[in-house]
Amino acid sequence: MKELKKVLESETSIVALLAVYEENRGNCTKLVLENNKTVLLNQSVKSVIKNIAKYYSIDIIQLRKKQQSLLNCKYNVPLPIKNNMLFIPIKTRTPKVKKDPCCSYINFYQIHKLDKKNPIIHMKNSEPIQSLNSTSTLKTRYNKGKICSKLNNTDNENKLSEEKESLPYFYPATKADINTVVKEVENLKELVISLLNKKQ
C-alpha cells in the first residue's frame, strides 16, 4: 500500500493495472505509469483497485452498482475514479488458480487507439497492451468507457446525447423501450384509421 500511495500522492498518470504472475512472488499487479515506468505491487488487481478507490474515498461496490445502472450492463463495467482515471477491464491472462483474476484494468484516458485487426490496445505514452479478448469485445468495452467518460464529465453533459448516437449501439432493449414503441405504433394506427374515416 505504501508504494501505491506514493504513486497516487505524486499524481503520476496511471496507464494500466496489469494482473501478472511473478516468480517467488505469485499473484501481483504491475502498475504501468506514463513514460513506460512500472511499479510491481504484491497485491492482486482487485486489491489494488479497492485501495485506489479507498484513497479517493470511493465505495467501490456502490460505484459498480451505479455504473451497472447507467450502462444497463451487469459485468465488466468501467470504473471512473477521477477526471483523468477511468479504468476499463480487459482480459490479459489465463488464471493459474481458480480465484485469481484474469482481467487487468486500462486507463481509458491513456488509450491512443485500438488495433483494427488484432486485440491490441495502443497507448499514448507506453508500450501497446495485448489482450486475450476478441477485437469486438475490446471495441465494446472501449465504447462503454467512452460513454462513461461523458456521463462523468460535467463539462460534456450537454454533448452526451449527440455523441452517444454516433457510437455503435450495444444496449439491449428494455421493457420500457418496447412499451414506448408499442404505444407509438398504436397512436399511428389510430391516426391512420381516423384519416381513412374522414376520406369516407
Which regions in the chain score pLDDT beneath 50? Answer: 154-171
By three-state DSSP, how is residue 50 classified?
helix
pLDDT of residue 177: 57
Using the 8-state DSSP alphabet, how is residue 34 labeled?
Answer: G
Asked if residue 60 lies in contact with residue 50, where contact means CB atoms within 8 angstroms, the answer is yes
pLDDT of residue 166: 46
By three-state DSSP, how is residue 173 classified?
coil
pLDDT of residue 105: 97
pLDDT of residue 15: 96
Q: Who's near 194: CB < 8 A, 6+ residues apart?
A: none
pLDDT of residue 73: 87
